[in-house]
Structure 1
Amino acid sequence: MDVRIGIQNSPRELGFETDSSAAEVEQAVAAAVAGTAPVLRLADSKGNVYVVPSAALAYVEIGTEENRRIGFVG
């Protein structure tokens, strides 16, 4: 699933694919926004870890969990 994170005072967004479910990502974002977690920590499908301070979050876009189609659709 694709995740895009907007960071305050930054012209670019952070985008990556993760193997986590939408519910797991949403739970981590909710904890960061509520103030129970000081940082938002997510890992991508390659094993890289992204840590963003909760106070710097502008938005988080969580993509759908559908498989990508390869080839022609008939």
Structure 2
Amino acid sequence: MEVKIGIQHAPREIVIDVDLSQDEVEKLVNDALGNNSSLALTDAKGRRVLVPGDHIAYVELGGGVTGTVGFR
């Protein structure tokens, strides 16, 4: 699943592909925001991303678009 994270005062968002469900990611985000801790996500290739919870502007959860080539 594709997760887009907007960071305060940063011109670009972070896009990460994780092997978690929307509910699992939502719980991790809510925990990071509630505890004022870091949001830690591991992508499908094993890379780990840490985002300070107090700098998260928004989180967009979605399935992403896979397998589309050419005209529709």
The answer to whether the superposition gives a TM-score over 0.5 is yes
Give the equivalent residue in structure 1 for 2:39: 40
Q: How many residues align?
A: 70
Task: Tell me the distance in 1 between the aligned counterparts of 2:50 and 2:17.
Answer: 15
Q: Percent identity?
A: 40
TM-score by length of 1: 0.82
- CA drift at 1:69: 4.5
Give the equivalent residue in structure 1 for 2:52: 53
Structure 1: runs of 5 or more not aligned: none
Post-superposition, which runs of at least 4 consecutive aligned residues in structure 1 deviate over 6 A? Answer: none
Task: Tell me the distance in 2 between the aligned counterparts of 1:69 and 1:12.
Answer: 25
**How much is the aligned-residue C-alpha RMSD, in angstroms?**
2.0
Give the equivalent residue in structure 2 for 1:20: 20
